[in-house]
A = this chain, B = another copy of it.
Amino acid sequence: MCETVSRDVTETTTEQLCARPPGRPRSERAEKAIIEATLDLLVEEAGVAGVSIEAVAARAGVGKTTIYRRWPNKEALIVDALATLKAPLPEPAGRSVREDLIALARAVHSGRGDRRVDCLWNIIGSWHKHPELVRKLRRDVIEPRREVMRGVLRRGIETGEVRPDLDIEVALPMIAGAMTMQVQGLAPDEDLPDDVAERVVDTALRGLAP
């Protein structure tokens, strides 16, 4: 497999590039536990400030050494932790614009309970303090998803399901924003009705005017 190895390899000789370094290999289990703990704390402790290496280590059941061996500091750890939120990118079925939009909207909805939405929310609010982190997050996580929805709408214009003069860049945040607001507008223990996604998409498609 020859995966991983962020360790310094410096393959100076003509050896095979896949040479496994000597000594005990790093524990994948520990690495995963660290990432999980980081994401948990990011949500529970309300942002980057609430994540301390000591707390991550304690929660992951890991020594601080094990963290510092992999990441130089908190920021780097959080960047890597957020990167794991990227996948999976939703793939529209392509049967109809309405169905695809509902599926995408539902992906936001199902993100509730999941950590994803909370992480994003907590971090995006901190662009004043951590601009590069937020930029990375927008580029790697948010924008790809916007691009998917953008594709759906563009295809809709071609098939005639969407009016050709639609301002797509306004429509995107309208649907995403409506879902996010609904999701975040409630207390963590409340439940959202099952058909929010349908209602949002149908309202958006139909418009407010008579």
Contacts and interface: CB of A to CB of B under 8 A. Distances in A.
A187 B127 contact: yes
A44 B175 CA distance: 29
B171 A177 contact: no
A24 to B, nearest CB: 37
Interface in A191-210: 196, 199-200, 203-210
A133 B45 CA distance: 14
Contact of A45 (B49, B124, B163): B49
Contacts of A124: 121, 125, 184
A137 to B, nearest CB: 12
A17 interface: no
B129 A125 contact: no
A37 interface: no
B174 A210 contact: no
A208 B209 contact: no
A53 interface: no
A182 interface: yes
B174 A200 contact: yes
Interface in A138-194: 138, 142, 153, 156, 160-164, 166-167, 170-182, 184-185, 187-188
Contact of A205 (B44, B153, B196, B209): B209
**Copies assembled:** 2
Nearest to A196: B170
Contacts of A153: 208
Instruction: Tell which of A45, A124, A209 has the most Cβ of chain B within 10 Å.
Output: A209
Given A125-B122, A188-B128, A180 B178 contact: no
A66 interface: no
B122 A126 contact: yes
A130 B162 contact: no
Given A45-B49, A46-B129, 10 more contacts: A47-B47, A49-B49, A121-B121, A128-B188, A138-B185, A170-B182, A171-B208, A173-B182, A204-B207, A205-B209
28 contacts: A44-B128, A46-B126, A46-B129, A47-B122, A49-B50, A118-B125, A121-B125, A124-B125, A128-B188, A135-B187, A142-B185, A160-B210, A161-B209, A162-B208, A162-B210, A163-B206, A163-B209, A164-B210, A167-B199, A171-B208, A172-B181, A173-B178, A174-B174, A177-B181, A178-B178, A205-B209, A206-B207, A207-B208
